[in-house]
Amino acid sequence: MKLLKDNFVVIVMILLVLSGITYLERNTVKLALYQGYLYIKDSTTPLPDTFIVETLIVPEIKPHPHEIGDSLLDTDHHKIAPSNYIRIPKDMWIKEFRVTLENIDSDNLHHLVLSSTGIKDPLCSNYIFSPIFVQGSEQLPNPITFERPYRVKLKRGDYLLLNAMFHNPLPPFGRGILRKNIRAKVTMTIDKDSSDKKQLQPFFFHIADPESVCNDDPELGQYFRIPANSKQFTRAQNPVETPDASQYQFPRAGKLILAEAHTHSWEGGKELNLYLNDKKLNTFIPKQADPKKTPWKWHVDQYKGQNVKINASDKLRIETVYSNNFPVVIPDAMGMLLMYFAPN
Protein backbone atom coordinates (compact mmCIF):
# COMPACT_ATOMS: atom_id res chain seq x y z
CA MET A 1 0.00 0.00 0.00
CA LYS A 2 2.83 2.37 0.90
CA LEU A 3 4.55 1.64 -2.43
CA LEU A 4 1.34 2.43 -4.32
CA LYS A 5 1.02 5.77 -2.49
CA ASP A 6 4.61 6.73 -3.23
CA ASN A 7 4.27 5.78 -6.90
CA PHE A 8 1.04 7.75 -7.15
CA VAL A 9 2.77 10.92 -5.87
CA VAL A 10 5.53 10.59 -8.46
CA ILE A 11 3.01 10.03 -11.29
CA VAL A 12 0.97 13.10 -10.28
CA MET A 13 4.04 15.31 -10.18
CA ILE A 14 5.21 14.08 -13.59
CA LEU A 15 1.78 14.81 -15.07
CA LEU A 16 1.90 18.34 -13.65
CA VAL A 17 5.25 18.92 -15.30
CA LEU A 18 4.10 17.49 -18.63
CA SER A 19 0.86 19.51 -18.58
CA GLY A 20 2.74 22.65 -19.50
CA ILE A 21 3.94 24.07 -16.21
CA THR A 22 7.51 23.82 -17.41
CA TYR A 23 9.04 27.27 -17.07
CA LEU A 24 11.03 26.12 -14.03
CA GLU A 25 14.54 24.94 -14.69
CA ARG A 26 15.21 21.20 -14.87
CA ASN A 27 16.89 21.02 -11.47
CA THR A 28 13.96 22.88 -9.91
CA VAL A 29 11.51 20.31 -11.27
CA LYS A 30 13.62 17.51 -9.82
CA LEU A 31 13.62 19.23 -6.45
CA ALA A 32 9.87 19.75 -6.67
CA LEU A 33 9.33 16.03 -7.28
CA TYR A 34 11.50 15.19 -4.30
CA GLN A 35 9.86 17.82 -2.12
CA GLY A 36 6.36 16.57 -2.95
CA TYR A 37 7.47 13.09 -1.90
CA LEU A 38 8.79 14.43 1.42
CA TYR A 39 5.52 16.16 2.25
CA ILE A 40 3.67 12.86 1.86
CA LYS A 41 6.17 11.22 4.20
CA ASP A 42 5.67 14.00 6.78
CA SER A 43 1.87 14.15 6.60
CA THR A 44 1.46 12.47 9.99
CA THR A 45 3.30 15.24 11.86
CA PRO A 46 1.24 17.81 13.84
CA LEU A 47 0.25 21.05 12.15
CA PRO A 48 2.67 23.94 12.79
CA ASP A 49 1.50 27.48 13.56
CA THR A 50 2.54 28.70 10.11
CA PHE A 51 3.10 27.31 6.63
CA ILE A 52 5.68 29.09 4.46
CA VAL A 53 6.11 29.12 0.70
CA GLU A 54 9.19 30.87 -0.65
CA THR A 55 10.58 31.57 -4.09
CA LEU A 56 13.92 30.41 -5.36
CA ILE A 57 16.75 32.88 -4.82
CA VAL A 58 17.42 35.40 -7.59
CA PRO A 59 21.22 35.87 -7.61
CA GLU A 60 21.21 39.46 -8.84
CA ILE A 61 19.02 42.27 -10.11
CA LYS A 62 20.89 45.19 -11.64
CA PRO A 63 19.48 48.74 -11.71
CA HIS A 64 17.89 49.70 -15.01
CA PRO A 65 16.45 52.89 -16.52
CA HIS A 66 12.70 53.05 -17.03
CA GLU A 67 11.14 55.55 -19.38
CA ILE A 68 7.45 56.15 -20.02
CA GLY A 69 6.55 53.73 -22.79
CA ASP A 70 9.02 51.06 -21.66
CA SER A 71 7.48 47.70 -20.87
CA LEU A 72 7.93 45.59 -17.78
CA LEU A 73 7.79 42.64 -20.16
CA ASP A 74 11.27 43.54 -21.41
CA THR A 75 13.64 40.93 -20.04
CA ASP A 76 16.03 43.56 -18.66
CA HIS A 77 13.18 45.23 -16.76
CA HIS A 78 12.13 42.38 -14.48
CA LYS A 79 12.96 39.03 -12.93
CA ILE A 80 10.43 36.27 -12.24
CA ALA A 81 11.15 34.20 -9.14
CA PRO A 82 9.09 30.99 -8.86
CA SER A 83 8.86 28.63 -5.93
CA ASN A 84 9.00 24.87 -6.11
CA TYR A 85 5.70 23.03 -6.37
CA ILE A 86 4.61 22.61 -2.75
CA ARG A 87 2.32 19.73 -1.84
CA ILE A 88 -0.04 20.57 1.02
CA PRO A 89 0.57 17.95 3.72
CA LYS A 90 -2.72 18.36 5.63
CA ASP A 91 -6.00 20.23 5.51
CA MET A 92 -5.40 23.77 6.79
CA TRP A 93 -7.56 26.80 7.56
CA ILE A 94 -5.59 30.00 6.82
CA LYS A 95 -6.38 33.14 8.80
CA GLU A 96 -3.55 35.36 7.52
CA PHE A 97 -1.24 35.79 4.52
CA ARG A 98 1.91 37.85 5.08
CA VAL A 99 4.72 38.74 2.64
CA THR A 100 8.35 39.10 3.67
CA LEU A 101 11.28 39.92 1.38
CA GLU A 102 14.96 39.05 1.68
CA ASN A 103 17.73 41.49 0.67
CA ILE A 104 15.35 43.79 -1.17
CA ASP A 105 12.92 46.64 -0.45
CA SER A 106 9.18 46.41 -0.84
CA ASP A 107 9.22 48.84 -3.78
CA ASN A 108 11.34 46.32 -5.73
CA LEU A 109 8.46 43.86 -5.62
CA HIS A 110 6.17 44.51 -8.53
CA HIS A 111 3.64 41.90 -7.44
CA LEU A 112 3.41 38.27 -6.39
CA VAL A 113 0.79 35.57 -6.84
CA LEU A 114 0.26 32.49 -4.68
CA SER A 115 -1.84 29.91 -6.51
CA SER A 116 -3.38 26.54 -5.74
CA THR A 117 -4.58 23.55 -7.75
CA GLY A 118 -7.34 22.99 -5.20
CA ILE A 119 -9.52 26.00 -6.04
CA LYS A 120 -11.25 26.36 -9.39
CA ASP A 121 -11.00 29.94 -10.58
CA PRO A 122 -14.55 31.21 -11.26
CA LEU A 123 -13.31 33.82 -13.77
CA CYS A 124 -10.67 31.90 -15.72
CA SER A 125 -11.51 28.22 -16.14
CA ASN A 126 -8.21 27.55 -17.95
CA TYR A 127 -6.09 28.08 -14.82
CA ILE A 128 -4.39 24.95 -13.48
CA PHE A 129 -3.08 26.97 -10.55
CA SER A 130 -5.73 29.49 -9.43
CA PRO A 131 -4.73 32.62 -7.46
CA ILE A 132 -5.59 32.52 -3.75
CA PHE A 133 -3.40 35.45 -2.64
CA VAL A 134 -2.10 38.41 -4.66
CA GLN A 135 -0.24 41.52 -3.47
CA GLY A 136 1.73 44.34 -5.01
CA SER A 137 4.27 46.63 -3.39
CA GLU A 138 1.52 49.14 -2.59
CA GLN A 139 0.00 46.73 -0.05
CA LEU A 140 3.21 45.97 1.85
CA PRO A 141 3.95 45.53 4.68
CA ASN A 142 0.28 44.99 5.57
CA PRO A 143 -0.88 41.36 5.62
CA ILE A 144 -4.29 40.05 4.62
CA THR A 145 -5.98 38.97 7.85
CA PHE A 146 -9.44 37.45 8.09
CA GLU A 147 -11.73 37.94 11.04
CA ARG A 148 -13.31 34.91 12.63
CA PRO A 149 -15.01 32.72 11.35
CA TYR A 150 -13.81 33.42 7.78
CA ARG A 151 -10.85 31.39 6.54
CA VAL A 152 -9.21 30.16 3.32
CA LYS A 153 -9.08 26.37 3.23
CA LEU A 154 -6.07 24.51 1.83
CA LYS A 155 -6.73 20.83 1.15
CA ARG A 156 -4.31 17.99 1.68
CA GLY A 157 -2.83 16.74 -1.57
CA ASP A 158 -3.30 19.97 -3.53
CA TYR A 159 -0.30 21.96 -4.75
CA LEU A 160 0.81 25.54 -4.21
CA LEU A 161 2.98 27.69 -6.47
CA LEU A 162 4.35 31.15 -5.72
CA ASN A 163 5.54 33.55 -8.42
CA ALA A 164 7.09 36.93 -7.65
CA MET A 165 8.01 39.65 -10.14
CA PHE A 166 10.88 41.92 -9.10
CA HIS A 167 12.13 45.07 -10.80
CA ASN A 168 14.85 47.59 -9.99
CA PRO A 169 14.31 50.88 -11.82
CA LEU A 170 16.46 53.95 -11.37
CA PRO A 171 14.98 57.15 -9.83
CA PRO A 172 12.33 58.48 -9.99
CA PHE A 173 10.70 55.05 -10.39
CA GLY A 174 12.90 53.27 -7.82
CA ARG A 175 16.06 53.44 -5.75
CA GLY A 176 18.17 51.75 -8.44
CA ILE A 177 20.52 49.93 -6.05
CA LEU A 178 22.20 46.65 -7.01
CA ARG A 179 20.37 43.77 -5.29
CA LYS A 180 21.77 40.29 -4.69
CA ASN A 181 20.41 36.99 -3.39
CA ILE A 182 16.81 38.08 -3.14
CA ARG A 183 13.58 36.16 -2.69
CA ALA A 184 10.02 36.49 -1.46
CA LYS A 185 8.16 34.49 1.16
CA VAL A 186 4.48 34.11 1.96
CA THR A 187 3.79 33.04 5.54
CA MET A 188 0.34 31.60 6.13
CA THR A 189 -0.91 31.58 9.72
CA ILE A 190 -2.93 28.46 10.44
CA ASP A 191 -6.09 28.52 12.53
CA LYS A 192 -5.90 25.36 14.64
CA ASP A 193 -8.98 26.21 16.69
CA SER A 194 -11.73 23.59 16.53
CA SER A 195 -14.54 26.15 16.25
CA ASP A 196 -16.74 26.35 13.15
CA LYS A 197 -15.26 28.14 10.15
CA LYS A 198 -16.70 29.64 6.98
CA GLN A 199 -14.74 28.93 3.83
CA LEU A 200 -13.78 31.87 1.64
CA GLN A 201 -13.67 31.79 -2.15
CA PRO A 202 -10.94 33.95 -3.76
CA PHE A 203 -11.72 35.92 -6.92
CA PHE A 204 -8.96 37.38 -9.09
CA PHE A 205 -10.61 40.13 -11.16
CA HIS A 206 -8.44 41.75 -13.82
CA ILE A 207 -8.67 43.91 -16.92
CA ALA A 208 -6.55 42.91 -19.89
CA ASP A 209 -6.27 43.09 -23.63
CA PRO A 210 -7.65 40.00 -25.43
CA GLU A 211 -4.25 38.35 -25.86
CA SER A 212 -3.47 38.43 -22.13
CA VAL A 213 -6.80 38.09 -20.32
CA CYS A 214 -6.76 34.94 -18.14
CA ASN A 215 -3.08 34.49 -19.01
CA ASP A 216 -1.44 32.12 -16.52
CA ASP A 217 2.12 32.66 -17.78
CA PRO A 218 3.95 34.72 -15.11
CA GLU A 219 6.30 36.09 -17.77
CA LEU A 220 3.38 37.76 -19.53
CA GLY A 221 0.72 38.47 -16.93
CA GLN A 222 -2.49 40.41 -17.53
CA TYR A 223 -1.89 43.77 -19.22
CA PHE A 224 -3.64 46.35 -21.36
CA ARG A 225 -2.48 49.32 -23.43
CA ILE A 226 -3.15 53.00 -22.77
CA PRO A 227 -3.20 55.27 -25.82
CA ALA A 228 -0.83 58.21 -26.05
CA ASN A 229 -2.06 61.59 -24.81
CA SER A 230 -4.95 60.09 -22.82
CA LYS A 231 -5.44 62.41 -19.88
CA GLN A 232 -8.44 60.56 -18.45
CA PHE A 233 -8.53 57.01 -19.79
CA THR A 234 -11.16 54.71 -18.24
CA ARG A 235 -10.71 51.04 -19.00
CA ALA A 236 -13.31 48.38 -18.43
CA GLN A 237 -13.45 45.08 -20.22
CA ASN A 238 -14.82 45.21 -23.75
CA PRO A 239 -18.06 43.17 -23.85
CA VAL A 240 -16.93 41.36 -27.00
CA GLU A 241 -13.71 40.17 -25.37
CA THR A 242 -13.83 36.64 -24.03
CA PRO A 243 -13.19 35.44 -21.48
CA ASP A 244 -14.06 38.45 -19.34
CA ALA A 245 -12.25 38.43 -16.00
CA SER A 246 -13.37 41.93 -15.00
CA GLN A 247 -16.88 40.99 -13.89
CA TYR A 248 -18.81 38.11 -12.37
CA GLN A 249 -22.47 37.29 -11.83
CA PHE A 250 -22.89 35.32 -8.62
CA PRO A 251 -25.01 32.15 -8.79
CA ARG A 252 -25.48 32.16 -5.00
CA ALA A 253 -25.77 34.68 -2.20
CA GLY A 254 -23.06 35.58 0.29
CA LYS A 255 -20.89 38.40 1.60
CA LEU A 256 -17.92 40.36 0.30
CA ILE A 257 -15.31 40.04 3.06
CA LEU A 258 -12.16 41.80 1.82
CA ALA A 259 -10.59 43.20 -1.35
CA GLU A 260 -7.24 44.65 -2.48
CA ALA A 261 -6.38 46.43 -5.73
CA HIS A 262 -3.26 46.77 -7.88
CA THR A 263 -2.57 49.34 -10.59
CA HIS A 264 0.57 50.95 -12.00
CA SER A 265 0.59 54.20 -10.06
CA TRP A 266 3.97 55.28 -11.44
CA GLU A 267 2.58 55.03 -14.99
CA GLY A 268 -0.49 57.15 -14.29
CA GLY A 269 -2.80 54.70 -12.56
CA LYS A 270 -5.23 57.00 -10.72
CA GLU A 271 -7.85 54.66 -9.30
CA LEU A 272 -9.62 51.34 -9.53
CA ASN A 273 -13.38 51.23 -8.97
CA LEU A 274 -15.44 48.32 -7.69
CA TYR A 275 -19.13 48.16 -8.61
CA LEU A 276 -22.03 46.05 -7.37
CA ASN A 277 -24.86 46.11 -9.93
CA ASP A 278 -23.46 49.42 -11.27
CA LYS A 279 -23.44 50.99 -7.79
CA LYS A 280 -19.93 52.00 -6.76
CA LEU A 281 -18.83 50.12 -3.64
CA ASN A 282 -15.30 51.46 -3.31
CA THR A 283 -12.61 53.45 -5.06
CA PHE A 284 -9.03 52.29 -4.54
CA ILE A 285 -6.75 55.34 -4.80
CA PRO A 286 -2.93 55.04 -4.75
CA LYS A 287 -1.23 57.49 -2.39
CA GLN A 288 2.42 58.50 -2.20
CA ALA A 289 4.04 58.33 1.22
CA ASP A 290 6.63 61.05 0.51
CA PRO A 291 6.57 62.40 -3.08
CA LYS A 292 9.85 64.31 -2.63
CA LYS A 293 12.04 61.74 -0.89
CA THR A 294 10.59 58.47 -2.17
CA PRO A 295 8.38 59.14 -5.21
CA TRP A 296 8.43 55.43 -6.03
CA LYS A 297 6.61 54.40 -2.82
CA TRP A 298 2.82 54.08 -3.04
CA HIS A 299 0.10 52.72 -0.79
CA VAL A 300 -3.45 51.50 -1.46
CA ASP A 301 -5.82 50.72 1.42
CA GLN A 302 -7.66 47.43 1.80
CA TYR A 303 -11.42 47.35 1.51
CA LYS A 304 -13.20 45.35 4.20
CA GLY A 305 -16.82 44.96 3.25
CA GLN A 306 -18.25 42.40 5.65
CA ASN A 307 -21.59 44.19 5.66
CA VAL A 308 -21.86 44.06 1.87
CA LYS A 309 -24.40 41.39 1.05
CA ILE A 310 -24.39 39.81 -2.37
CA ASN A 311 -27.58 38.21 -3.63
CA ALA A 312 -27.83 35.47 -6.21
CA SER A 313 -27.60 36.98 -9.73
CA ASP A 314 -25.86 40.13 -8.45
CA LYS A 315 -22.90 41.29 -10.55
CA LEU A 316 -19.54 42.65 -9.42
CA ARG A 317 -17.26 44.41 -11.88
CA ILE A 318 -14.15 46.58 -11.91
CA GLU A 319 -12.86 49.46 -14.01
CA THR A 320 -9.66 51.46 -13.74
CA VAL A 321 -8.67 55.03 -14.61
CA TYR A 322 -5.26 56.08 -15.96
CA SER A 323 -3.76 59.38 -17.04
CA ASN A 324 -1.16 59.24 -19.80
CA ASN A 325 0.04 62.73 -20.65
CA PHE A 326 2.86 61.48 -22.84
CA PRO A 327 3.02 61.06 -26.64
CA VAL A 328 3.75 57.32 -26.33
CA VAL A 329 1.60 54.28 -25.66
CA ILE A 330 1.87 52.66 -22.23
CA PRO A 331 2.02 48.97 -23.19
CA ASP A 332 1.69 47.21 -19.84
CA ALA A 333 -0.88 48.87 -17.57
CA MET A 334 -2.62 46.74 -14.97
CA GLY A 335 -5.96 46.76 -13.21
CA MET A 336 -6.38 43.91 -10.72
CA LEU A 337 -8.60 43.16 -7.76
CA LEU A 338 -8.29 40.24 -5.35
CA MET A 339 -11.56 39.64 -3.52
CA TYR A 340 -12.66 37.09 -0.92
CA PHE A 341 -16.29 35.99 -0.99
CA ALA A 342 -18.12 34.02 1.72
CA PRO A 343 -21.02 32.03 0.25
CA ASN A 344 -24.09 31.58 2.45
Instruction: Render pLDDT for 208-232 as a digit per residue (tens, 0 to 9).
Output: 888 888 888 766 678 899 999 998 9
Between the CA of residue 17 and those of 11, 12, 28, 79, what are the distances in Å? 10, 9, 11, 22
Query: Domain check: are 174 and 262 in the same one?
Result: yes
H runs (alpha helix) in 50-147: none
Q: Are residues 1 and 85 in the same domain?
A: no
Say what the pLDDT of residue 278 is. 87
What range defines the domain where residue 94 resides? 46-343
Q: Residue 72's pLDDT band (boundaries 50, 70, 90)?
A: low
Q: Which of 8-12, 51-55, 164-168, 270-274 bottoms out in mean pLDDT, i.e. has the lowest?
A: 8-12
For range 7-22, the mean pLDDT: 43
Tens digits of residue pLDDT in 98-120: 999 999 999 889 899 999 999 88
- pLDDT recorded at residue 292: 85
Arithmetic mean of pLDDT, 302-306: 85
71 band by pLDDT with thresholds 50, 70 and 90: low
Report the C-alpha dihedral over residues 27, 32, 38, 43, rounded to 10 degrees. 170
Do 25 and 174 lie in one domain? The reply is: no
User: Across residues 76-98, what is the average pLDDT?
Assistant: 93
Residues 119 and 251 in one domain: yes
Task: Give the amino acid at 319.
Answer: E
Pair (131, 226) in one structural domain: yes
Contact of 202 with 340, CB cutoff 8 Å = yes
pLDDT band of 289, cuts 50, 70, 90: confident
Q: 315-324 and 247-249: which strand pairing?
A: antiparallel
300 confidence band (pLDDT: 50, 70, 90): very high
Q: Read off the pLDDT of residues 148-196 as tens digits, 9 standing for 90 and up.
A: 999 999 999 999 999 999 988 888 888 889 999 999 999 999 999 888 9
Task: Tell me, yes or no, whether 30 and 128 share the same domain.
Answer: no
Same domain, 113 and 70: yes
pLDDT of residue 270: 95
Q: Does 276 share its domain with 257?
A: yes
Region 13-33 average pLDDT: 38
- Rounded mean pLDDT of 327-334? 90
Is the pLDDT confidence value at 27 over 70? Answer: no
**pLDDT score for 65:** 82
d(CA 257, CA 340): 6
The verdict on 205 and 256 lying in the same domain is yes
What mean pLDDT comes out for the span 122-134? Answer: 92
Q: Identify whether residues 109 and 192 lie together within a single domain.
A: yes
The structural domain count of the chain equals 2
% pLDDT > 70, the chain:
82
Same domain, 41 and 97: no
Q: Is the pLDDT of residue 306 over 80?
A: no
What mean pLDDT is reported for the chain?
A: 84
What pLDDT score was predicted for residue 241? 62
The per-residue pLDDT for 171 is 87
Residue 270's CATH number: 2.60.120.230
Task: Answer left, alpha or beta for residue 179, where phi above 0 means left and psi between -120 and 50 means alpha.
Answer: beta
- 209 contact partners, CB below 8 Å, separation of at least 6: 223, 224, 225
Q: What is the pLDDT of residue 67?
A: 76
- DSSP line for 74-102: SGGG-EEEEB--EE--S-EEEEEEEEEEE
Report whether 210 contacts 180 (CB < 8 A): no
Rounded to whole angstroms, the Cα distance separating 161 from 29 reads 12
Residue 34: pLDDT over 80: no
Confidence of residue 35 (pLDDT cuts 50, 70, 90): very low
pLDDT at position 29: 34
**Contact partners, residue 44, CB within 8 Å, separation at least 6:** none
